[in-house]
Structure 1
Amino acid sequence: MKRTAQINGRLTISPPVSPYWTADDYAHETEALRTQVWPAVRKLLAEEFPGFSAAFTYADVVLCTHCCSEFECLTADEATDASTNQDEHSAEGEPACCAKAVDEFRVERGLPPVQWGGAA
Protein backbone atom coordinates (compact mmCIF):
# COMPACT_ATOMS: atom_id res chain seq x y z
CA MET A 1 0.00 0.00 0.00
CA LYS A 2 1.24 3.51 -0.79
CA ARG A 3 1.73 6.20 1.78
CA THR A 4 2.59 9.83 1.08
CA ALA A 5 5.30 11.49 3.14
CA GLN A 6 5.96 15.22 3.08
CA ILE A 7 9.66 15.93 2.65
CA ASN A 8 11.96 18.63 1.36
CA GLY A 9 10.22 21.58 3.06
CA ARG A 10 11.35 25.11 2.34
CA LEU A 11 12.05 28.01 4.68
CA THR A 12 11.94 31.47 3.16
CA ILE A 13 13.47 34.47 4.90
CA SER A 14 12.50 37.82 3.39
CA PRO A 15 14.10 41.13 4.30
CA PRO A 16 11.95 44.18 4.97
CA VAL A 17 10.82 46.00 1.82
CA SER A 18 9.43 49.43 1.02
CA PRO A 19 7.72 50.71 -2.13
CA TYR A 20 9.91 53.82 -1.82
CA TRP A 21 13.24 51.99 -1.95
CA THR A 22 15.64 52.24 -4.86
CA ALA A 23 17.51 49.36 -6.50
CA ASP A 24 20.45 50.21 -4.21
CA ASP A 25 18.26 49.76 -1.12
CA TYR A 26 17.18 46.30 -2.31
CA ALA A 27 20.78 45.42 -3.14
CA HIS A 28 21.79 46.43 0.39
CA GLU A 29 19.13 44.20 1.97
CA THR A 30 20.14 41.26 -0.25
CA GLU A 31 23.78 41.81 0.74
CA ALA A 32 22.78 41.85 4.42
CA LEU A 33 20.95 38.55 3.94
CA ARG A 34 23.99 37.04 2.26
CA THR A 35 26.68 38.30 4.65
CA GLN A 36 24.89 38.50 8.02
CA VAL A 37 21.65 36.53 8.16
CA TRP A 38 22.76 33.57 6.07
CA PRO A 39 25.90 32.76 8.15
CA ALA A 40 23.77 32.95 11.32
CA VAL A 41 21.25 30.51 9.83
CA ARG A 42 24.01 28.10 8.76
CA LYS A 43 25.55 28.25 12.25
CA LEU A 44 22.16 27.56 13.87
CA LEU A 45 21.55 24.58 11.58
CA ALA A 46 25.01 23.13 12.24
CA GLU A 47 24.67 23.50 16.02
CA GLU A 48 21.01 22.64 16.55
CA PHE A 49 20.00 20.52 13.54
CA PRO A 50 22.97 18.41 12.36
CA GLY A 51 22.40 16.80 8.97
CA PHE A 52 20.10 19.55 7.68
CA SER A 53 21.31 21.39 4.60
CA ALA A 54 20.47 24.81 3.27
CA ALA A 55 21.15 26.97 0.24
CA PHE A 56 21.09 30.75 -0.31
CA THR A 57 19.03 31.86 -3.29
CA TYR A 58 17.25 35.06 -4.23
CA ALA A 59 14.56 36.11 -6.64
CA ASP A 60 14.29 39.18 -8.84
CA VAL A 61 11.25 41.34 -8.26
CA VAL A 62 10.11 43.66 -11.05
CA LEU A 63 8.89 47.02 -9.77
CA CYS A 64 6.73 49.63 -11.50
CA THR A 65 8.72 52.78 -12.24
CA HIS A 66 5.67 54.92 -11.46
CA CYS A 67 4.24 53.56 -8.18
CA CYS A 68 7.18 51.37 -7.05
CA SER A 69 4.80 48.46 -6.38
CA GLU A 70 5.53 44.99 -7.69
CA PHE A 71 4.77 45.11 -11.42
CA GLU A 72 1.89 42.89 -12.47
CA CYS A 73 0.08 42.76 -15.77
CA LEU A 74 -3.10 41.28 -17.21
CA THR A 75 -3.12 37.82 -18.75
CA ALA A 76 -5.01 37.27 -22.00
CA ASP A 77 -8.01 35.94 -20.03
CA GLU A 78 -7.97 38.88 -17.60
CA ALA A 79 -7.80 41.37 -20.47
CA THR A 80 -11.12 40.06 -21.82
CA ASP A 81 -12.80 39.68 -18.40
CA ALA A 82 -14.89 42.72 -17.39
CA SER A 83 -14.19 42.04 -13.71
CA THR A 84 -10.41 42.43 -14.13
CA ASN A 85 -9.85 44.74 -17.11
CA GLN A 86 -10.08 48.55 -17.35
CA ASP A 87 -12.33 48.60 -20.42
CA GLU A 88 -12.94 46.89 -23.76
CA HIS A 89 -9.53 48.08 -25.03
CA SER A 90 -7.51 46.29 -22.33
CA ALA A 91 -4.88 43.96 -23.75
CA GLU A 92 -2.66 41.16 -22.55
CA GLY A 93 0.36 42.66 -20.79
CA GLU A 94 -1.46 45.80 -19.62
CA PRO A 95 -0.19 46.82 -16.16
CA ALA A 96 -2.46 46.25 -13.20
CA CYS A 97 -0.60 48.31 -10.60
CA CYS A 98 -1.36 51.98 -11.33
CA ALA A 99 -3.07 54.36 -13.75
CA LYS A 100 0.20 55.95 -14.94
CA ALA A 101 1.54 52.55 -16.01
CA VAL A 102 -1.72 51.75 -17.84
CA ASP A 103 -1.62 55.12 -19.61
CA GLU A 104 2.01 54.60 -20.67
CA PHE A 105 1.25 51.07 -21.91
CA ARG A 106 -1.66 52.30 -24.02
CA VAL A 107 0.26 55.21 -25.56
CA GLU A 108 3.12 52.86 -26.54
CA ARG A 109 0.67 50.52 -28.29
CA GLY A 110 -1.64 53.12 -29.83
CA LEU A 111 -4.63 52.00 -27.75
CA PRO A 112 -7.37 54.44 -26.71
CA PRO A 113 -6.74 55.91 -23.23
CA VAL A 114 -8.78 54.80 -20.23
CA GLN A 115 -11.47 57.28 -19.24
CA TRP A 116 -10.47 57.58 -15.58
CA GLY A 117 -13.06 58.81 -13.11
CA GLY A 118 -16.01 57.13 -14.83
CA ALA A 119 -16.29 59.61 -17.71
CA ALA A 120 -17.67 58.11 -20.90
Structure 2
Amino acid sequence: MKIELVTEETKDCLRLPNEKFELFGELVVTKPNDKWEYHEIYFDEPKEKIFPEENYSFETINQNGFAVATFDQNQCVGLAVFETGWNKYCYLSDLKVNVNYRRSGISKDMLDFAINIAKKRTAKD
Protein backbone atom coordinates (compact mmCIF):
# COMPACT_ATOMS: atom_id res chain seq x y z
CA MET A 1 0.00 0.00 0.00
CA LYS A 2 1.16 3.49 -0.79
CA ILE A 3 -0.29 6.77 0.49
CA GLU A 4 0.34 9.99 -1.38
CA LEU A 5 -0.93 13.49 -1.94
CA VAL A 6 -3.47 13.60 -4.78
CA THR A 7 -1.91 15.37 -7.76
CA GLU A 8 -2.94 16.25 -11.28
CA GLU A 9 -1.60 12.83 -12.36
CA THR A 10 -3.62 10.92 -9.72
CA LYS A 11 -6.79 13.07 -9.66
CA ASP A 12 -8.88 10.18 -11.03
CA CYS A 13 -8.84 8.72 -7.53
CA LEU A 14 -11.20 11.56 -6.53
CA ARG A 15 -13.89 9.45 -8.23
CA LEU A 16 -13.54 6.63 -5.69
CA PRO A 17 -17.18 5.62 -5.27
CA ASN A 18 -19.04 5.80 -1.99
CA GLU A 19 -20.06 2.39 -0.67
CA LYS A 20 -22.51 1.24 1.97
CA PHE A 21 -21.42 1.10 5.57
CA GLU A 22 -23.08 -0.07 8.75
CA LEU A 23 -24.22 2.31 11.48
CA PHE A 24 -24.60 0.88 14.95
CA GLY A 25 -25.37 4.19 16.63
CA GLU A 26 -24.87 7.91 16.53
CA LEU A 27 -23.03 10.62 18.40
CA VAL A 28 -25.17 13.56 19.54
CA VAL A 29 -23.14 16.75 20.08
CA THR A 30 -24.50 19.76 21.98
CA LYS A 31 -23.07 22.97 23.41
CA PRO A 32 -25.05 23.89 26.50
CA ASN A 33 -23.54 26.67 28.62
CA ASP A 34 -20.69 27.31 26.12
CA LYS A 35 -19.13 23.89 26.69
CA TRP A 36 -19.19 21.08 24.11
CA GLU A 37 -20.75 17.83 25.26
CA TYR A 38 -21.72 14.60 23.57
CA HIS A 39 -23.52 11.37 24.22
CA GLU A 40 -23.83 8.14 22.30
CA ILE A 41 -27.03 6.50 21.15
CA TYR A 42 -26.81 2.84 20.14
CA PHE A 43 -29.40 1.38 17.77
CA ASP A 44 -31.23 -1.86 18.56
CA GLU A 45 -30.48 -3.04 15.01
CA PRO A 46 -27.63 -1.81 12.79
CA LYS A 47 -28.59 0.36 9.81
CA GLU A 48 -26.94 0.66 6.41
CA LYS A 49 -26.04 4.04 4.94
CA ILE A 50 -24.48 5.30 1.74
CA PHE A 51 -23.62 8.91 0.95
CA PRO A 52 -24.34 10.49 -2.45
CA GLU A 53 -21.42 10.90 -4.84
CA GLU A 54 -19.52 14.17 -4.47
CA ASN A 55 -18.20 14.77 -8.02
CA TYR A 56 -15.02 16.39 -6.72
CA SER A 57 -13.04 18.90 -8.74
CA PHE A 58 -9.26 18.61 -8.35
CA GLU A 59 -8.90 22.37 -8.75
CA THR A 60 -11.47 23.13 -6.03
CA ILE A 61 -9.93 20.65 -3.61
CA ASN A 62 -6.48 22.18 -4.11
CA GLN A 63 -7.86 25.68 -3.76
CA ASN A 64 -9.56 24.82 -0.44
CA GLY A 65 -7.07 22.29 0.92
CA PHE A 66 -5.75 18.94 -0.25
CA ALA A 67 -6.57 15.25 -0.61
CA VAL A 68 -4.58 12.10 0.07
CA ALA A 69 -5.17 8.67 -1.40
CA THR A 70 -4.12 5.11 -0.68
CA PHE A 71 -3.16 2.89 -3.58
CA ASP A 72 -2.86 -0.89 -3.77
CA GLN A 73 -0.52 -1.05 -6.72
CA ASN A 74 -2.30 1.27 -9.21
CA GLN A 75 -5.80 0.96 -7.74
CA CYS A 76 -7.09 3.73 -5.46
CA VAL A 77 -8.62 2.08 -2.38
CA GLY A 78 -8.86 5.03 0.03
CA LEU A 79 -9.43 8.77 -0.12
CA ALA A 80 -9.35 11.54 2.49
CA VAL A 81 -10.25 15.15 1.62
CA PHE A 82 -9.18 18.06 3.83
CA GLU A 83 -10.02 21.75 3.97
CA THR A 84 -7.38 24.12 5.35
CA GLY A 85 -7.79 27.58 6.77
CA TRP A 86 -10.98 26.38 8.41
CA ASN A 87 -11.10 28.27 11.68
CA LYS A 88 -7.30 27.89 12.01
CA TYR A 89 -7.61 24.12 11.66
CA CYS A 90 -7.36 21.45 9.02
CA TYR A 91 -10.83 19.94 8.59
CA LEU A 92 -11.46 16.38 7.39
CA SER A 93 -14.40 16.76 5.01
CA ASP A 94 -14.49 13.25 3.56
CA LEU A 95 -12.99 9.86 4.29
CA LYS A 96 -13.73 6.67 2.40
CA VAL A 97 -12.13 3.27 2.01
CA ASN A 98 -13.07 0.55 -0.46
CA VAL A 99 -15.19 -2.05 1.34
CA ASN A 100 -12.61 -4.80 0.68
CA TYR A 101 -9.88 -2.81 2.46
CA ARG A 102 -11.75 -1.64 5.55
CA ARG A 103 -10.44 -2.46 9.02
CA SER A 104 -6.88 -2.65 7.72
CA GLY A 105 -5.63 0.65 9.14
CA ILE A 106 -5.86 2.63 5.91
CA SER A 107 -7.94 5.42 7.46
CA LYS A 108 -5.52 5.93 10.34
CA ASP A 109 -2.56 5.87 7.96
CA MET A 110 -4.15 8.49 5.69
CA LEU A 111 -4.90 10.71 8.70
CA ASP A 112 -1.32 10.40 9.96
CA PHE A 113 -0.01 11.22 6.49
CA ALA A 114 -2.31 14.26 6.27
CA ILE A 115 -1.23 15.54 9.69
CA ASN A 116 2.34 15.77 8.40
CA ILE A 117 1.20 17.66 5.29
CA ALA A 118 -0.89 20.08 7.38
CA LYS A 119 2.02 20.70 9.79
CA LYS A 120 4.41 21.41 6.90
CA ARG A 121 1.93 23.80 5.29
CA THR A 122 1.34 25.59 8.60
CA ALA A 123 5.08 25.99 9.13
CA LYS A 124 5.36 27.70 5.71
CA ASP A 125 2.64 30.26 6.56
Shorter-chain TM-score bucket reads under 0.3
Question: Which has the higher relative contact order, 1 or 2, with Cα contacts under 8 A spaced 6 or more apart?
Answer: 2
Which of structures 1 and 2 has the bigger CA Rg?
1
Give the structure-2-normalised TM-score.
0.24
